[in-house]
Amino acid sequence: MTSKRNKKTSPAGHKTDPPALTRSAMRRQREREQRLQTILEAAGTLFAREGYHQTGMERIADEAEVSVGTVYFYFKNKEDLLVKLLDQTGYELRNLLGTAFKNADGTLDGIRKAGKVFFEDFCPHHPEKIALIFRESAGQSDVVERHRKKIFDKLVDDLQAALQSVAANRGSFRSPLAAEVMAASILGMFERLAYQYLIWQDRQEDLDAVGRDAVDFIVGGIQNLLHRKHKA
């Protein structure tokens, strides 16, 4: 049984906040976080460049310039590393697309800006993350697949909410399933085009033009499925 004397209280008998971290403790914490990120970046680079199955923990440790024991201190196995990378990439992509859309106040221009950000910013600057989320994580274990599905489900939900916001401003969709169908289709298009021009073919220089054509196609489809609001 834990003694009550171990609990820190104020003279009045109230619990006190834990003491603030010392400067040396804060420095050690920063170093741990930096080491963690270094390992993740090394793993992400190797998974994309050499393949998930071809990359061992020793190779990751060498790339990150740490010991193998250090890698295992942060991650129990390679699958754990992949899941963490997936979660980070999914969060970054959702945040990037969501910010672009919100900055356009829920209009069709927001859809354009989100597409522009994906093709002109995310894809060319993070090809390793494209490879990770669309290629290297596909067909892995049930654990990885659950995380992958969760990311894609959230992206579809985000897109569906954006489309419903557009409809609220412009009219209504002709079908109750239109926003859901278009959200899944848009994400599928983003995935296939990124795969086509970054993974299957090294045509990064064409991404701007590809993005413009894709976004025009998407916006045209949205407009076609909208019932316009009638002015009173």
Residue-wise pLDDT for 48-105, tens only, equals 999 999 999 999 999 999 999 999 999 999 999 999 999 999 999 999 988 888 876 7
The architecture CATH gives domain 21-75: Orthogonal Bundle (1.10)
Among 3.40.50.300, 1.10.357.10, 3.90.550.10, 3.30.365.10, what is the CATH number of 78-228?
Answer: 1.10.357.10
The DSSP code sequence of 42-101 is HHHHHHHHH-TTT--HHHHHHHHTS-HHHHHHH-SSHHHHHHHHHHHHHHHHHHHHHHHH
Torsion (CA) 9, 10, 14, 19 in degrees, nearest 10 = -60
pLDDT greater than 80 at residue 9 = no
Q: What is the pLDDT of residue 18?
A: 60
Is the distance from CB of 113 to CB of 121 less than 8 angstroms?
no
Q: What are the residue boundaries of the structural domains of the chain, listed by start?
A: 21-75, 78-228
**CA 144, CA 137: separation in Å to the nearest integer?**
7
**CA 190, CA 214: separation in Å to the nearest integer?**
8
CA distances 70 to 3, 40, 58, 122, 132, Å, are 36, 12, 11, 30, 23
Read off the tokens for 18: 């834990």
pLDDT tens for 103-114 read 767 788 888 999
